[in-house]
């Protein structure tokens, strides 16, 4: 019985943590620069509501350099981004 109560308590904590997390939005943008050597992508994008960010042009990092494959300046894309500390990372891209 004690084990069951501990499991329920842990699941409750995890659930409350997930309620505060918001899924990344798909955002429209235009590629301005691809810097594959440094795993960076400059994008002119629309508002990113999940990051409370207005439309602008900025540099994003990518952890998976495969996301940069085939991208060129002036490509119209949709992407998802997250923040980690003071950096912003692209987690998904689609054309």
Q: What is the CATH architecture of 24-94? A: Beta Barrel (2.40)
What are 18-22's contacts with CB under 8 Å, separation 24+? 22/50
Residues in the chain: 95
pLDDT digits (tens, 9 = 90+) for 34-88: 999 999 999 999 999 999 999 999 999 999 999 999 999 999 999 999 999 999 9
Distance CA 61, CA 67 (A): 10
pLDDT digits (tens, 9 = 90+) for 5-30: 454 544 454 443 443 445 789 999 99
């Amino acid at each position: 019985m004690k084990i069951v109560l501990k499991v329920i308590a842990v699941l409750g904590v995890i659930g409350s943590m997930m309620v505060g997390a918001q899924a990344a939005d798909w955002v429209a943008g235009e590629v301005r620069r691809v810097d594959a050597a440094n795993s960076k992508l400059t994008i002119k994008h629309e508002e990113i509501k999940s990051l409370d960010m207005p439309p602008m042009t900025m540099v994003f990092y990518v952890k998976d350099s495969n996301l940069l494959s085939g991208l060129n300046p002036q490509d119209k894309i949709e992407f998802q981004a997250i923040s980690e500390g003071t950096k912003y990372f692209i987690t998904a891209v689609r054309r």
